[in-house]
Chains A and B, each alone.
Chain A
Amino acid sequence: MSTLRICVVYPDLLGTYGDGGNGLVLQRRAQWRGIEAQLLLAPSTEALPAAELYLLGGGEDGPQVRAARQLLTEGTLASAVGQGATLLAVCAGMQLVGRSFPGSDGSIHQGLGLLELETVRVDAPRAVGEVVVEVTAPSLAARSLPPLTGFENHGGRSRLSPGVEPVGVVRSGVGNGFGGTEGAVGGRVLATYLHGPVLARNPGLADLLLSWALEDDGLASRVLDDAPIEALRAERLG
């Protein structure tokens, strides 16, 4: 395959929580294996470029609504995903790939509908803090991913439709806020509430996304020196 294109979608709207770092992690983990990888930062002022792997990050309520509206109008992301592109959607990104999510005034906004989930307001404090997730999704079982760690910071809670796989179950933290689940996965779309950035803290998940985008199941067998990351994981997993 030629160059892998990794696109960080609208960092000007969805770049509040450092999730753009996921792009850097993916680019390096590809490059370190001898795969050419290009990191595209796509501001909302320009048309979304073609890519094999898209990243949506966390953002504030207003910019989230704006990003959803623009992505719906433009249609590039949904059609890329329909043709097999890989998508990681974090926090506000997870909410806006669902069917609907609430704005700051409580009004309901339409999402991209790439995952069958809806985000609602709840009468509960904002979910803020460290999270540990046991990966249980049947479609990820073959990967035997170790527990995920991250940091959540969200007001809304996300209810998955019957049949939609959560990424896993929450060992500590809040996650989706329904049934002790965290995240959602369907096809090559993976959504989560975890910041950190999530791929910096969970190299196994980064390699999973790379293997989807490159259609290369042997990718993870080319082992990298993850010593600094293992030290961080050991500390976070206690």
Chain B
Amino acid sequence: MRLVNGTSRLLGRGQGTVAGGRVALGIDPDLVAALSAHRRVVLISGTNGKTTTTKLASAALVASGLAPHLVTNSTGSNMVAGHVAALAERPFDGLAVLECDEAYLARTAAGTGAEVVALLNLSRDQLDRSSEVRKLVSAWRALLEASSIGVVANADDPLVVAAARGARSVRWVAGGLRWRLDAVGCPLCEGRIAFEEAPSVRWRCESCDLERPAPSVEATGGGDALVVVVDGRRLVGSLRLPGAFNRSNAAFAIAICACLGADLEAAMTGIASVEEVAGRFSTVEIEGVPTELLLAKNPAGWGELLSLVTEGTSPVVLSINARIADGLDPSWLYDVDFEQLAGRPVVVTGERRHDLAVRLHYGEVAHQVVAEPAAAVALAASLGDAPVVFIGNYTAFGDLRRLVR
């Protein structure tokens, strides 16, 4: 396994994890079950925040002392190949914290005999592959109603609540939901979901009994401060990852720790230690230009990141691909409010830069188009003050990271 991963890295074919998993699968198809047999397994799934929450939960569990041996697929390889690669690490007992693709959750839960599953959110993503987000709701629901798996779920997302409320044991997290377009129609009946912000955050279906459950885990704070309230207990710490969405991810990580019976004060120190997630949120040098790296894969994720980015004035590079892992249809660019970048220096790149350029053309956002990502960053650096902010979708982000020496 290590040899294969090393070879993949040497060949420059990626970060090594997926190739290793595929080779292992060729040897034994029941490997996931065999490698999980003596482990406590946590699965983390949802459209956005999987990789970050997996990293935060792993750091928190290690810091809590609960997990002398913890394995995780920290690089975002979230299907069976990535799981096998993570689980192949010795020793074969202890904890496994695995990010899991939404569509593979049921079979992965069965294969690993997972103890806890965390469900972050569901919204449109890769429609050419999963086509309908509501089909994921049905698949999750069937899984959870048929098992005694412990569930940590987002109380603010009607699709997640519809999937999880029939589970035997659920810890509800006030996980937030900025993107609501996929949740306005009730996933259980033909009704409409009414959202309310004041006097308190709540939502309910106007036609059936689906409504926001009372959360028992909630994160607040501003800047680097992080306060997580779990079952009425207040934990104070810090978080180095930016944005409200990352505070929600931290709340999920602590909720997972609570499910496993970890020391939560110690877990908060683990959360505070996380500086970047598979390169995301880190500042690197691209051919001498300090560049802040951000990854957004779908309209919900882009909305979160653009709201973060518009607080600044530095030049922005946007990079879009449409490979299988990204979703083949970039029509979703029209669901993203790129208009808020008007007035900023903007450079577009990536394999589908022309689709993005047309989107910005119609959004009346002045921009320049550059084929090569490194050249795009260099041009952006000449248009304003560093660091340059780079936002790419999944494979576009990977392409840029390969330029980091």
Give A residues with C-beta under 8 Å from B.
11-13, 15-21, 24-25, 28, 44-45, 60-63, 66, 126, 128-130, 151, 153, 155, 195-197, 200-201, 228-229, 231-232, 235
Contacts and interface: CB of A to CB of B under 8 A. Distances in A.
A24 B354 contact: no
Given A151-B329, A153-B329, A231 B354 contact: yes
A201 B357 CA distance: 12
B265 to A, nearest CB: 44
Interface centre among A19, A28, A195 (most CB of B within 10 A): A195
Interface in B104-143: 124, 127-128, 131-134
A21 B334 contact: yes
B167 to A, nearest CB: 23
Interface string B181-199: 1101100001010000000
Contact of B359 (A12, A16, A151, A200): A200
B334 A231 contact: no
Given A16-B127, A18-B332, A129-B328, A200 B190 contact: no
Contacts, number: 91
Contacts of B333: 18, 21
Given A18-B331, A197-B334, A228 B361 contact: yes
Interface string B150-194: 000000000000000000000000000000011011000010100
Contact of B132 (A21, A24, A44, A61): A61
A197 B354 contact: no
Given A60-B132, A61-B132, A232-B355, A21 B331 contact: yes
Contact of A66 (B182, B185, B369): B185
A231 B181 CA distance: 31
8 residue pairs, one from A and one from B, having the closest CB atoms: A21-B334, A18-B331, A232-B354, A151-B329, A18-B334, A228-B361, A228-B357, A195-B331
Contacts of A151: 128, 328-329, 331
Nearest to B355: A232
Given A18-B332, A153-B127, A195-B329, A12 B358 contact: no
A66 B329 CA distance: 25
Contacts of B361: 228-229
A155 B127 CA distance: 13
Contacts of B369: 228, 231
Given A21-B335, A196-B331, A228-B357, 6 more contacts: A12-B185, A44-B192, A153-B329, A195-B329, A200-B358, A228-B358
A128 B328 contact: yes
Contacts of B358: 200-201, 228-229, 232
A16 B130 CA distance: 12
Nearest to B331: A18
Contact of A128 (B128, B190, B192, B362): B128
A197 B363 CA distance: 14
19 contacts: A12-B185, A13-B185, A15-B335, A16-B124, A16-B127, A16-B182, A21-B333, A24-B362, A60-B133, A66-B190, A195-B329, A196-B329, A197-B331, A200-B334, A200-B359, A228-B354, A229-B358, A232-B354, A232-B358
A59 B349 CA distance: 29
Nearest to B332: A18
A62 B134 contact: yes
B334 A24 contact: yes
Nearest to B322: A151
Contacts of B359: 21, 200
A62 B128 contact: no
B128 to A, nearest CB: 5
Nearest to A128: B128
B355 A19 contact: no
A17 B362 contact: no
